[in-house]
Amino acid sequence: MSCITRSKKEILKNSTLIPTGETRKVDTTPFDFRNGKPINKHIDLPNEQLSYGKGYDHNFVLNDFPKREDGLVFAAKAVEPNSGRVLEVFTNEPGLQFYGGNFLNGKIIGKSNKPYIFRSAFCLESQHFPNSPNQSDFPSTILKPNDIYISTCVYKFSTVNESKN
């Protein structure tokens, strides 16, 4: 499975996986998915952030431009080369959490009685930055009375041949 995102920054976490408020450019790090690469390509490299999360469990700062007509921005694209399945993610949220199943241990049983095992799945979740209420440099998550909050995330599924159109 390969993944692509235009994100230029990741949010750093401490050893208990709480975001510190610091962001770092993804250039020359295992977190650089801008040109697309297999998810597992750099997952086991020596890297403090990867070791904290036992792999990918990080929020990426999304670019807010270019926006589509509906106001959403491209967040990520995942391609499964054997089947040709494609997943594209668009959102109005400022961040994308990428979790690689690093804490799955086979104890949870899923569909068809199959256990969820270590790194057997991944999630792409659009959201505000974790720990935003405690980080003054992060986008605010405060919702005042009478304010309206609308979060939109579109997951577009296709195949390799369809996504070329």
The model's pLDDT over 86-117, given as tens digits with 9 standing for 90+, comes to 999 999 999 999 999 999 999 999 999 999 99
**At 163, phi and psi to the nearest 5?**
-75, -10
The model's pLDDT over 50-64, given as tens digits with 9 standing for 90+, comes to 999 999 999 999 988
Q: In Å, how far are 6, 21, 29, 106, 157 from 130, measured between CA atoms?
A: 20, 9, 21, 27, 27
**At 133, phi and psi to the nearest 5?**
-60, -20
For residue 74, pLDDT over 70 is answered with yes
pTM check: above 0.85: yes
* Residue whose structure tokens are 């241990």: 105
DSSP classification of residue 69 = T
d(CA 64, CA 72): 8
Per-residue pLDDT at 152: 97
